[in-house]
Amino acid sequence: MSAIPGYNGLLRKETAALPVAAPDWDHMLNAVKLRLNLTVGELSAQGHGQTDNHVLSRFCISVLECVESLDALQTRLDCELDRNALLKLEMLETQSALLQARKELLGTRAGERRARHSAEHDSLTQLPNRSYFENQLQHAMGEPHASELGLAILFLDLDEFKAVNDTQGHGAGDELLRVVAARLNQAVRMEDVVCRLGGDEFACLLRGLGNRKQLTQLAAKLFDSVKAPCKIGTHDLTVRPSIGIAICPSDGLTPESLLRNADAAMYHAKRQRTGYAFYDECTQGA
């Protein structure tokens, strides 16, 4: 067999363009090199009389060049495998970093939600606070045709609540406020907003209830619900609410005036011991 001119250079060009190889190529390359080396050994062992010395020499050189090129190929393969393993490791590290970043982002968002909830809610009763209520009231009054659809405020205060704190302690008073908050929430509709304004004062924002009869029925329902006896510790306590009702737009054209007039109606109900009163009732005798 004659030598293959340029074979070594051809293999080197092919090696430079190799893609990432499979791990079992190592076994294949070693087997090929072993077979080529054995071939050279077998040819060299043959008598010079049976094969032309010049052709044999060139063939052996070509085979050895093939072995050298295969070595270079194997070296490149090892480098590619190492690079592939490094890329996999970097990918895993990147995925881990992304997961950690996602956890931190979710934690930040959860923290923001907790902070926002804390800023908008009363810590004792978990009802919305005055700030949240005033924002909702302003938004509701700014809606188109708000007065035509019906908008009203119920302002509620607990009569003689101070006596509960004085005789039973502030712990009992706090528990009573929590009970009242829960009862108010249960008595109104899902779309209504109940808040604790502060102390023993509560308010309800009602949309779609501008009818005087409907508001009277709801006020009576809230009065009965809050007035029902409740057990605090070993004591059965009863607290009586006073409720003031103000309707938009007749009782106020701004959030401030509507809330202020509902407060005035509540004080009228407290003085008259009527349980609840509309704002126009406390202005009739003025």
Task: Decide if 52 is catalytic.
Answer: no
Q: What are phi and psi of 215, to 5 degrees?
A: -65, -35
Q: State how beta strands 151-159 and 201-207 pair.
A: antiparallel
The position carrying tokens 């070693």 is: 30
**Among 122, 157, 200, 251, the one annotated catalytic:** 200
Task: Please count the residues of the chain.
Answer: 286
Torsion of CA 75, 81, 86, 92, to 10 degrees: 180
Q: Which residues does residue 156 pair with via DSSP β-bridges, in sequence order? A: 202, 243
Measure the CA–CA gap between 62 and 163, rounded to whole angstroms.
110
Q: How far is CA 260 from CA 17, 134, 208, 255, in A?
A: 84, 12, 21, 8
Question: Which of 250, 235, 242 shows the shortest CA–CA distance to 219?
Answer: 242
Q: What are phi and psi of 201, to 5 degrees?
A: -105, 135
Cβ atoms of 136 and 193 closer than 8 Å: yes
Q: Which residues are catalytic?
A: 200
